[in-house]
């Protein structure tokens, strides 16, 4: 696991963008579950304690875990994130996320990582880089996409688009929101219309643009990137 970008809060909490996060699988011990990766750098302990009413684990959400033998277990209400007493190594909590995960949703997930391995990874990282402000990492992550000049009816606009259909200002890199979803009912069928609506100033002129969003994406993106956009849209 290599650190790409790091943030350290005033309280000393770490949030790390990493190249990959090892897979954690579990073994059942009594009614509880102990999880680890193949190198035993990560540890997770789901302690069993009966919950009821409003006092339930993970706010009542179901969680799915994979056991060492590959089977999937679904846990709900009674398994709580905890720590193990008298572990061989000292573990600390750290926020982790890959660039792809943080591009989609800028939230770091909490993991228990061996303290000595974390300190080693931080030491190597700080040889070449430094701690960033929290939201500067988000800005950096979203600029790592391939961006293409936005084309509207054959004219290049002062904006850029990526394969997700996201738009930013070509100069400031600030996010622009041009997607407008509308529900249309025709007889017994319901359709979702995705409209492109964008306005901006060109010197003293106010420019207002409107079209089908997919048409604008198709005109802007190369064929391979548009195919990625289409596949992503089909899953939504």
Q: Say what the pLDDT of residue 155 is.
A: 96
Q: Which residues contact 85 (CB under 8 A, 6 or more apart)?
A: none
Q: Say what the pLDDT of residue 189 is.
A: 79
3-class secondary-structure state, position 155: strand
Spell out the per-residue pLDDT of the chain, length 236, in tens. 899 999 999 999 999 999 999 999 999 999 999 999 999 999 999 999 998 888 999 889 999 999 999 999 999 999 998 888 777 889 999 999 999 999 888 999 999 999 999 999 999 999 999 999 999 999 899 889 999 999 999 999 999 999 999 999 999 888 899 999 888 777 777 777 899 999 999 989 999 999 999 999 999 999 999 998 988 777 66
For residues 82 and 182, give the distance between their C-alpha atoms in angstroms, rounded to a whole number.
45
Q: Say what the pLDDT of residue 233 is.
A: 76
Which structure tokens are listed for 163? 């394969």
Do 17 and 98 contact (CB within 8 A), yes or no? Answer: yes
**Domain segments of the chain: what residues?**
3-142, 148-235
Q: Say what the pLDDT of residue 236 is.
A: 62
**Which residue, 93, 89, 91, 83, is CA-closest to 15?**
93
3-class secondary-structure state, position 170: coil
Do 44 and 24 contact (CB within 8 A), yes or no? Answer: yes
Q: What is the DSSP string of 178-198?
A: -EEEEEEEETTEEEEEEEEEE
Question: Would you give the distance in Å from CA 159 to the centre of its chain?
Answer: 24
Give the residues across from 228 on adjacent strands: none
pTM over 0.85: no
For residues 98 and 63, give the distance between their C-alpha atoms in angstroms, rounded to a whole number.
21
Q: Say what the pLDDT of residue 235 is.
A: 67
pLDDT tens sequence across 109-139: 999 999 999 999 999 999 999 999 999 999 8
Residue 172: count of CB within 10 angstroms of its CB: 9
In terms of DSSP bridges, do strands 14-18 and 91-98 run parallel, antiparallel, or are they unpaired? parallel
Q: Say what the pLDDT of residue 26 is.
A: 96
């Amino acid at each position: 696991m290599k650190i790409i970008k790091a943030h350290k809060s005033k309280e000393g909490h770490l949030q790390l963008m990493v190249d990959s996060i090892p897979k954690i699988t579990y073994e059942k011990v009594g009614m509880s579950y102990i999880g680890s990766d193949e190198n035993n750098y990560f540890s997770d302990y789901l302690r069993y304690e009966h919950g009821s009413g409003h006092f339930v684990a993970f706010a009542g959400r179901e969680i799915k875990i994979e056991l060492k033998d590959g089977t999937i277990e679904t846990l709900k209400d009674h398994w709580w994130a905890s720590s193990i007493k008298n572990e061989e190594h000292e573990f600390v909590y750290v926020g982790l996320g890959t660039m792809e995960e943080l591009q989609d949703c800028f939230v770091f997930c909490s993991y228990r990582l061996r303290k000595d391995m974390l300190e080693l990874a931080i030491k190597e990282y700080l040889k070449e880089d430094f701690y960033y402000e929290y939201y500067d990492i988000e800005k950096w992550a979203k600029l790592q996409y391939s961006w293409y000049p936005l084309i509207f009816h054959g004219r290049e606009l002062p904006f850029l688009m990526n394969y997700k259909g996201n738009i930013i200002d070509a100069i400031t890199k600030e996010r622009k929101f041009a997607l407008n979803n509308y529900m249309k009912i025709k007889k017994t069928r319901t359709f979702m219309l995705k409209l492109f609506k964008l306005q901006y100033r060109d010197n003293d002129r106010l420019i207002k643009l409107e079209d089908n969003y997919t048409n604008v994406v198709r005109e802007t993106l190369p064929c391979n990137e548009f195919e990625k956009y289409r596949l992503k849209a089909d899953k939504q």
